[in-house]
Amino acid sequence: MLQGSRGEFSSRIGFVLAATGSAVGLGNVWGFPTNAAGNGGGAFVAIYLILAFVLAYPALMAELVIGRHTRANIYSALEGLASNAPTRLAARLTGGYAVLVASAILGFYTLVAGWVLAQLCAAIARVLDWPSMSGWFATASLGRDLASAALFAVLTVLVVSGGVRNGIERWSTRLMPALLILLLALIGYVLTQPGALAGLRLYLVPDIARILDPALLVSALGQAFFSLSLGVGTMLVYASYLDSKENLPVVGAMITGIDTLVAFLAGLLVIPAMFVAQRQGIEIHAGGELIAGPDLIFQVLPALFGSMAQWGDLVALAFFALLAIAALTSSISMLEVPVALAVEKTPLARGPASWLIGIAVFAATALIACFFDPLFGLVVTVTTEYSQPLVGIALCLFAGWAIHRDRLLAEIRASQGEAAGLFWKIWPPYVRIVCPLLIAATFLQGLIH
């Protein structure tokens, strides 16, 4: 493969914003807060923080190290690390499976992002005082879902077909600061509303009795892997476009830190907002649990915005713009996984490859939309709960066992500072043995319970 034909991020900040753009997504804005609310509040937040740095960060480093050393899509990267026939087979199976998982996640993510876009369009139409238009977008129907998912898919393809620097990096650096500003403004607004403090208390005060609950551990691990985009090859492929002089332990820590911070901040917005809604008479519990997932975002919060006399439409617009931005910077990173493979393994150019794969993924989205009840939950569970941790384990093993010593030494030379020195002492044995075992143990616990 020609080195010069591959794209490259123009700067550290460009890479960090693109990678945090991938990490910060719908998983942060509603997955994290509702997981926390349902799992003992502050207890979940505390366990999540530990798992994010003890398990997810080393696993992220495995992807970053493999990606930057091989400078290839996940399939060719793993294939290139294999030194004999059995490992080559394992490499191809893992790489091929990861590409499929990334595409399947994009399939259901596009549908959910379409709902977000529909709510955003409804809010815009309300601000512009176009009632029939806002009514169409606000009411669920197959036609609306397919149209708005198609719009989201087109946006994703347009960014990815622009390439690493002119598509992914350009849009991530524009959108991520906007996301942070919207998030902070919304937190400021919601925390001053009546009822917000009860939500803050639930979110932050740990329910100590829950801290060693196995279900909590498993939810926190799954959440951390989904949130850091691990186990599908996105971080690997982004790192393959990173300059060889960048200090990997430092950028990896930045990505983990920013992703965790945004998840935490989203909790400061979403959980108090639910209790503000409760004050307005809106139901926020179902079957004794706090309403989570799609119902929270598409029913509870819109009802809250609807009940805010003056600012409601603008707050709704800001909130759904925030979610749409978070979703787009994540979906482009998912699409990049199969597109990088197609561009590097077939004669297709980036533009046609992005459109072709985009259309194939959209066909999957349409299938999930048409057969929602049997398919949606199944695809989410198989990809995020089973596949991501398993591929994550495989990537730790490849990084730990298949990368030659001289390559790791080169990595050590490229990173500077005492902390980086310490990192390169601890990480190699850790990622080889401890990390895969810990992920497997947590995963198995989830299967048993």
Tell the smallest beta-carbon distance from residue 419 to ligand PHE (Å).
26
334 binds ligand PHE (CB under 6 A): yes
234 binds ligand PHE (CB under 6 A): yes
Contact stretch for ligand PHE (CB under 6 A) within 18-26, 112-120, 151-159, 420-428: 18-26
Left if phi > 0, otherwise alpha if psi is -120 to 50, otherwise beta: which for 302?
A: alpha
25 binds ligand PHE (CB under 6 A): yes
Using CB atoms, what's the residue nearest to ligand PHE?
25
Contact stretch for ligand PHE (CB under 6 A) within 21-29, 237-245, 284-292, 301-309: 21-29
Q: Which of residues 66-105 bind ligand PHE (CB under 6 A)?
A: 105
Residue from the set 70, 76, 330, 354 that interacts with ligand PHE by CB under 6 A: 330
Closest CA to 77 of 92, 87, 89: 92
Burial of 443 (0-12, 13-18, 19+ CB in 10 A): buried
Residue from the set 229, 240, 260, 387 that interacts with ligand PHE by CB under 6 A: 229
Residue from the set 55, 62, 124, 232 that interacts with ligand PHE by CB under 6 A: 232
Contact stretch for ligand PHE (CB under 6 A) within 24-32, 66-74, 346-354, 431-439: 24-32
In Å, how far are 14, 236, 241 from 431, measured between CA atoms?
A: 27, 16, 23
Residue 444 backbone dihedrals phi, psi, to 5 degrees: -65, -40
Burial of 299 (0-12, 13-18, 19+ CB in 10 A): middle
Tell the smallest beta-carbon distance from residue 156 to ligand PHE (Å).
12
What gap in Å lies between CA 29 and CA 128, rounded to an integer? 27
Q: Which of residues 104-163 bind ligand PHE (CB under 6 A)?
A: 105
Structure token digits, residue 127: 């601000």
DSSP string, 289-332: EE--HHHIIIIIHHHHHHH-TTTHHHHHHHHHHHHHHHHHHHHH
Binding mask 255-274 for ligand PHE (x = CB under 6 A): --------------------
Count Cα neighbours of 305 within 13 Å in the Cβ-side half-sphere. 24
Three-class SS of residue 72? coil
Closest CA to 401 of 438, 439, 436: 436
CB-wise, 27 or 249, nearer to ligand PHE?
27
Contact stretch for ligand PHE (CB under 6 A) within 17-25, 184-192, 290-298, 361-369: 17-25
Burial of 128 (0-12, 13-18, 19+ CB in 10 A): exposed
48 binds ligand PHE (CB under 6 A): no
Contact stretch for ligand PHE (CB under 6 A) within 22-30, 40-48, 282-290, 346-354: 22-30
227 binds ligand PHE (CB under 6 A): yes
Tell the smallest beta-carbon distance from residue 392 to ligand PHE (Å).
11
Q: Which of residues 348-407 bind ligand PHE (CB under 6 A)?
A: none
Residue 70 backbone dihedrals phi, psi, to 5 degrees: -90, -25
Residue from the set 9, 21, 22, 67 that interacts with ligand PHE by CB under 6 A: 22
| Cβ(22)–Cβ(106) below 8 Å | no
Tell the smallest beta-carbon distance from residue 437 to ligand PHE (Å).
23
Which residues are paired to 87 by β-bridges? none
27 binds ligand PHE (CB under 6 A): yes
240 binds ligand PHE (CB under 6 A): no
Contact stretch for ligand PHE (CB under 6 A) within 42-50, 177-185, 327-335, 349-357: 327-335
Residue 208 gets which letter from DSSP? G
What gap in Å lies between CA 375 and CA 362, rounded to an integer? 15
Tell the smallest beta-carbon distance from residue 229 to ligand PHE (Å).
3
Sign of the Cα pseudo-torsion (30, 234, 331, 98, in order): negative
What gap in Å lies between CA 360 and CA 342, rounded to an integer? 13
Q: Which of residues 417-436 bind ligand PHE (CB under 6 A)?
A: none
Tell the smallest beta-carbon distance from residue 117 to ligand PHE (Å).
15
- Summarize as ranges the residues that interact with ligand PHE (CB under 6 A): 22-23, 25-28, 105, 226-227, 229, 232, 234, 330, 333-334
